[in-house]
Structure 1
Amino acid sequence: MSAERPPAELDITHQDFTDCGWEEVLNNTERDGYMSMWQAFHAAAKRATADGQQSHAKVLWLLGDVCSMMLSPKSINEPFKPAIVMRGQRSAIPEDLSDPDIAFLSGIVNTIDDPWLKARLADLIWLRKRPRDIRFALMAIDSYRSIPIDRETWVFDGQECWERAMGLARMLNAGSGERLKEIEEAVIRAFESSTRQDGFLVLGLAGLLFDNGLGRDERSTIAQKLESLAREFDGEGDLHSAREFLKVSAKWFKAAGDNEKIAEMTVAVAESFVKEAEARIESDKPSHMAAAGFYEDAIQTYRTIPHSERPVHRVDERLKELQLRLNESGKKALDEMGVISIPGIDLSQYIEDARSSVHDKSTMEALEAFANLQPYSNVKELRQQVIKKLQKYPLQAIIAGVMMGRDGRVIARRPGMSLGDTPSEDDEIGIRAEMVHDHGIMVGMVVQGRILPALEVLQLEHRLRESDFFYLASRSPIVPIGRERLFGMALFAGYDYDFVTALHLLIPQIENMVRFHLKSAGVKTTTLDSKGIETENGLSTLMGLPECETMFGEDLTFEIKALFCDAYGPNLRNELAHGLLDDRACQSAYAIYAWWLCLKLVFNMFWNATHKIDGSSGEAAA
């Protein structure tokens, strides 16, 4: 990137800023916070460089750099951090701005009417200009607080901007005038006008006030509104949202010193778990296994209520009732499970080998070893193994099979097979189903015997941060442009054992990655219906295209299908898209393996690209 930059000694003027087209860049950019601005400015800078407009390119590079910095409003001393840090390199930080840069920014900031850009420039000038000029801090505060408060903006840096405005106003104290009070009032107004449709924006606003010690005079009012919204969610059957609102409501009631309401909210949380348990039992496909989990959650919640508040809510009696229900559901859950006994497998040597493979290595060597603990499944070998197994046990092949979902639905049927010299269409379906089944067994062994033991050593010996994974994703050719941060967040989440977050981030990005590379190869990825409406195909349809094996290889194509879009496997894409994965399923061996497979793919593409650039002949194993 630095090789494309104009010379550092090149002077830029206010006229260069006026003529560089920065407003057009922002107007033509789909805004999702500072990251989109960063990418848009740098892309425009590259175009300007290609056109020989060096002065314009330098202005756009500078604007991109200032937008690239990650805002961390809770830090007083370092509110801006680099977005990417890895292998001794990083993206821009405030200290990279030279005195001429600061002087240039000081000269243009007053002419900017975009609140996002104006806030960022004024904030950086305030931090770097010497002597400090309070006018820029006030300008930053006023620009930050002019950013709208809505659901989309809040997610894409809006919350951090408002929190930074609070921090600056508090830092200036009397020097900020009435700004902190006005910010508090604005957030409270937004909170008061929010509705159930605003969803978790309401919790974000309440959390911002609570974490910054604001809204003290409205504590009871805030708590009551959160409770009211929780009751609405509960009435609609959205028990998860209801619980989240009840928990935050309890925090505000605690701040207001209302112990009775704290206990009442806790009881409501517990009873929402009971409702979920009852709903699972009374559904068309009852599951006592799921109900038992919810009963256990309810019991644990009830136990947090202080003894002084228990008599009012009959807590002790309710605990006894729920324990009986838990025991009953636990017994009935056994009837829901079929038992297949297989000989135990000793994984101790696999575990030791996995640990040794990453132990006492540099960070890059350890990551390379971790990413290549297991090769991709060999589809041809797996197919032959399945055919031999079915020929050895023909009864297993002849009898048709049914695949059940975790909620009891029939989600796939495997026809009986004849397994003649030339496999029939039904035979091929059955062979495919058994291949996916055997792949699942392998996944469990690899996760327990290789991935988790090696990950434990990797974490003990190396401190990797989210920014490291951002850098890894940004340098990996497999990651589509604009998706680097999402991939980085997902990879870091799994590294941090947060496989729930990792899975929810990864699955949509894997689908987008497949679509991106197919489109880049000229493959049609859409369907045109009879009304002339063109829609993007989902992952299952995309992976069924013959071009996938050409592009990704037969083995990787099978892995993606088996994990994400095959009803005979975990079918993670469909299960997640329809909200069918619970917390436990998101932390299963399949989820962990899916995260590791994505890390393997991203890292190996990064490694190969880096070594190709460096002129090295070594490549990571695929």
Structure 2
Amino acid sequence: MAILTRPVSEETLSAMDWQQYVLELDWSEYSIDSRFRLMPQIEQLQARDETLAAEVLTLLGHVATLVMEPRASFPFRIRSVQKKNGLDSLDQYDIECLAMMALQANDPWLRARLADVAVTAGRDRGLNQWQLGSTAVHAYLDHCEQHLLGEQGFLHTDEAIRGTRLRWVYAKRDEATYERYKQLIISGIRRGLELRHPGLYHALARDIIAQRYSFSAEVAPILEQAANQFATDENCDYDLASRAYLLAYKLWEVAGNKASANRCHLAAGQALVTRSRGTGSAMLRSDWLAEGIQLLRQARSPRQHITALWQELSDLRMGIESEMHEHEFSVDVTDIAEAARAAITGPTAWEALLQLGFLLGNWYDPGMIRQEAIESAQRFVFRSFFTQVHLDRSGNPIDREDAFDINNEEHVTRRMVAYLLEHRLDFFSKVIAPNALEVMTASHPPSFELFLEAAYLSPTAPKGHEYSLARGLYAGCTSDWHECGTYLIPQVEPFVRNLLKRAGRNTLTVGDDGIEKERTLGDMLISQDAAEILGSRLVLELRALMTESSGYRLRNNYAHGLFNDAELENVGVVRLWWTTLRLVMFPWGREYLASLNQAV
């Protein structure tokens, strides 16, 4: 919805003297609360029935709170902080008013912002505003020349990057402006290195790399020299050194200097290796060493050196286990345990199995888990800021989780699986299932022959796998989770393949060599066929149990021999036993639930 309800002429805007209302606002630092700081003036104007002036200030406040995406691809879209009321809400009246305000604005930041928004929104609507684009380019330059080299220059990198991107569109042939921007960027990088502010020099250097600017050869030696200093001076910082070397490496690559690029690549890895040999946590030091080895391998360091470092990493990881600690908290689950026990009433072993499989719950709705996982991420936002590395018992990194991005579907799926384990499946396997099993085995113990008969009669069970299924299910009833996992983990893949084939879906894929082969369990579970045939609930359950890196990873850990005997007896296997029981007995489970509903 447009902000201005009528057009504003240049004479009206000048007579309004709109800048008098923003004289006390400091535009040198980006502020998202400009709209709220303008509210008193807007309310006073509305009270005096000066509605047009109030609308102009509302438009100004809206534009000032927009967040730029300077690294986005053309056409350099801008989004609002709340991801709404952005450029799409501006119509021609708003754009024309912003263009006039940009030419009148005295402050460089405000002039740049007004011109930038007007020209970007106008371009999306087919308006030709080349002169206004040039105004934005020069206004960004004026602003950054005043503030980029200050103590808080890192707050103004977005404006510098935005200005350079716009220059390619609206001032491409202006050599003087190009030279000013070039010197500004180089000076900003030097200043950031001097202050040791990665937020300043990293942002500017990464933009040079991304845009492949021709002056990368001038910047690369600056970063390399600074990295050498970071690694050798009295305030030695190998982390800064390694990251500066990496920037120098990429800058040399852009410049086409392979020898210098490889030199910096090797130095980046060696800096992390040196850092890992200092004092501190064995877990952190092993992470640095592993990252250093990866960089050295990419830079083709001698094989003997890499081999020695792998041995050093193995020795270092031996000390991680001693650093691990467990934290336990008491929770009263008496009511839930009693409810699980009360659900198992028999009177036969067959009915007890149906009650255990279908009265203790269902597979979880992905939509509900998705919403709860996102809300949890927003509630505990600090946890989502940083990259997390997950280690096994020996300190080996088995998973890497980047900072959470709600717009990244892969991130959301990972968070959903992790949330499902932490808040649902673990609790089921530790509280609900054991209590129900205790009642069943004490009062209505099923026999191995009962499971074997069910597996033979079940249309969902894969043919030829009945004995293994029965052995695994029976082992679970006796709480022999080691044997249960040994038999049931390998049965999930044929189970899924059988269900897809029964529905007429193809489970084969053609490799690069032109030979057909069966799809893996992970490939099948993420397919549209699985979602349609198995249903989204079961797909999420099996991915959490078997394949997802943020889940139990039963399939991967078992297939690759990563479980020892003790680890095979885990809560994931308990949940897998329950899921397999439901799959085998699903036809009778539906009839049993229907009979209960009819009885009620």
Normalising to structure 1: TM-score of the pair?
A: 0.48
Flag the structure with more relative contact order, 1 or 2, with Cα contacts below 8 A and sequence separation at least 6.
1
Q: So what's the TM-score if we normalise by structure 2?
A: 0.50
Please identify the structure whose Cα radius of gyration is greater. 2
